[in-house]
């Protein structure tokens, strides 16, 4: 689907089919869509500085909503059929979490460097205690 929503830029208007022709609301299709979105986000976080994480978060939230609805509507024997897919999804989410945490740590480090540089530039000694003779013991 190449059509995009006018209300959420960058997000598909309708959910794509995902897993090999499965119905859009089926658990296998939902798991497939989540896996694709998580893999794409993980790769983009690692390689694309202009990646739109807000749109990706919105997409993942929508898919999580779909997954929750499908899980609530499913029967226990149906859930057992999708165990491998859910375990695979859990592993991909763990890798995604690691990439997001690395990204956040890098952003925090850059912010701290900028803060320190600004403080150093502002602290040029103009109003230091030594200027007024108060620092003498």
**What is the 3-class SS of 35-77, one letter each residue?**
HHHHHHHHHHHHHCCCCCHHHHHHHHHHHHHHHHHHHHHCCHH
Measured between alpha carbons, how far is 71 from 26 in angstroms, rounded to an integer?
Answer: 10
Specify the range with the lowest mean pLDDT, choosing from 20-29, 63-72, 92-101.
20-29
* 96 pLDDT more than 80: yes
Mean pLDDT in residue range 82-106 = 93
Phi, psi angle pair for 12, to nearest 5°: -60, 145
85: nearest Cα among 36, 43, 35: 35
Q: What is the pTM of this model?
A: 0.65
pLDDT confidence band for 108 (50 / 70 / 90): very high
**Tens of pLDDT, residues 38-59:** 999 999 999 998 999 899 999 9
For position 119, what pLDDT does the model report? Answer: 82
């Amino acid at each position: 689907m190449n059509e995009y929503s006018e209300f959420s830029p960058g997000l598909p208007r309708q959910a794509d089919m995902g897993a090999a022709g499965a119905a859009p609301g089926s658990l296998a299709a939902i798991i497939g869509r989540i896996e694709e979105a998580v893999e794409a986000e993980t790769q983009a976080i690692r390689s694309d500085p202009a990646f739109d994480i807000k749109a990706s978060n919105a997409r993942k939230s929508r898919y999580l909503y779909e997954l929750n609805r499908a899980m609530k509507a499913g029967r226990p024997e149906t859930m057992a059929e999708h165990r491998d897919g859910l375990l695979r999804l859990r592993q991909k989410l763990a890798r995604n979490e690691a990439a997001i945490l690395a990204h956040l740590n890098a952003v925090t480090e850059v912010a701290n460097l900028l803060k320190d540089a600004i403080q150093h530039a502002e602290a040029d000694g103009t109003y230091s205690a030594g200027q007024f003779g108060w620092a003498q013991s």
